Amino acid sequence: MDQAQKQEWYGRVASLCQSKAEEFAMLGYENVEAADIWECVTSGYKEIPPMHRLVNDILSLKPNKYMNYLMMQMYKNS
């Protein structure tokens, strides 16, 4: 999935990502932003999935999966 496509699709689901970030904040994860949620969800995609799968992946994202994603990013960057 190239960056232009990712940005276009992010514009369509940005409110969902923001909602999920606010949910995480209520659970005690204050520093999560909508763009972080988006990167976590789309990191595993090779191509653009159907919209219903993308929405489901955003809404069903659990803090544990997000924290695992962050740990993997830290390992990759170090």
Q: Any idea where the domains of the chain sit in the sequence?
A: 3-77
Alpha-carbon distance of 70 to 13, in angstroms, equals 21
pLDDT tens per residue across span 19-36 = 999 999 999 999 999 999
pLDDT tens per residue across span 34-57 = 999 999 999 989 888 999 999 999
What is the pTM assigned to this prediction? 0.90
Contacts of 47 (CB under 8 A, 6+ apart): 1
Place of tokens 């990191």: 43
Place of tokens 């994202």: 61
Alpha-carbon distance of 48 to 31, in angstroms, equals 27
Alpha-carbon distance of 5 to 46, in angstroms, equals 12
* pLDDT exceeds cutoff 80 at 1: no
